[in-house]
Amino acid sequence: MLDLWTELAAGTQLYWIISVFASVLQVFLLIGAFMGGGADFDHDVDSHDGSTADSVKLFSFRILIAFFVGFGWAGVLGQRQGMSPTATAVAAIISGVVFMLLLFATLRLLMAMKDDGSLNYDNAIGLRGQVYVTIPAARAGLGQIEIILQGRLITASAVTDADHALSPQSGIEITALMPPNTFVVKPAT
């Protein structure tokens, strides 16, 4: 085995070292991701619109490892095919960039599909629903409404400014949100 290693040219040895080391690291990262390990260093928090959503960095550790996996294995294959050192290096760099961009695009797609499932009651303003429990007139007390918010049927507390009570099954429209989670509604027109 040692004879095979010493027979390889220095460039080929370098490609082998890079490809094996990067592949082993990639396997450890994959195992860590499946086990729920700390991969938090791969993405940062980006809050341009006030929300906190994970975004993938192009030069994160995981993506750089993907570059070296593609670079190393393309270099090994280029050398084995008898390509010149320059052609092998160019092919290895191109392959590394392709691997890097593919993983970047895949992770961005996966992060875009991430949803924490939290209800944002502000999203209900303007929605229509129906009264579940009678809502007293002129904010004299709380009633309950049913609405579909973010794909879920929810029941929530509500008040109304209307001059008459809103009876069960009557249609409503949400006009505002009062802290903590009480809706102001009006009869639906």
Report the pLDDT value the prediction gives residue 43, as an integer from 0 to 100. 44
Q: Both 73 and 132 in a single domain?
A: no
What is the domain range of residue 152?
121-187
Q: Which of 66, 90, 112 is the last residue of a domain?
A: 112
Report the pLDDT value the prediction gives residue 111, as an integer from 0 to 100. 80
Q: Both 134 and 82 in a single domain?
A: no
pLDDT, the chain, mean = 84
Report the pLDDT value the prediction gives residue 51, as an integer from 0 to 100. 42
Positions of E strands within the chain: 43-46, 53-56, 128-133, 143-149, 152-160, 171-178, 182-187
Q: With a cut of 70, which residues of the chain have pLDDT below it?
A: 1-11, 37-56, 115
Report the pLDDT value the prediction gives residue 108, as an integer from 0 to 100. 85
20 vs 22: CA distance, rounded Å = 6
Report the pLDDT value the prediction gives residue 13, as an integer from 0 to 100. 83
Taking the alpha carbons at both ends of the chain, their separation in whole angstroms is 83
Q: Both 168 and 77 in a single domain?
A: no
Report the pLDDT value the prediction gives residue 114, as an integer from 0 to 100. 73
Report the pLDDT value the prediction gives residue 8, as an integer from 0 to 100. 56
Q: Which tens digits make up the pLDDT trace of 102-144?
A: 988 888 888 877 767 788 899 999 999 999 999 999 999 999 9
Q: Both 21 and 88 in a single domain?
A: yes
- Residue listed under structure tokens 């929300």: 51
Residue 181 in tokens: 């989670």
Report the pLDDT value the prediction gives residue 10, as an integer from 0 to 100. 63
Report the pLDDT value the prediction gives residue 55, as an integer from 0 to 100. 64
Report the pLDDT value the prediction gives residue 66, as an integer from 0 to 100. 92
137 vs 139: CA distance, rounded Å = 6
Q: Both 83 and 176 in a single domain?
A: no
Taking the CA atoms of 112, 118, 119 and 122 in sequence, report the sign of the dihedral they define.
negative
For the chain, the domain total comes to 2
Report the pLDDT value the prediction gives residue 117, as an integer from 0 to 100. 74
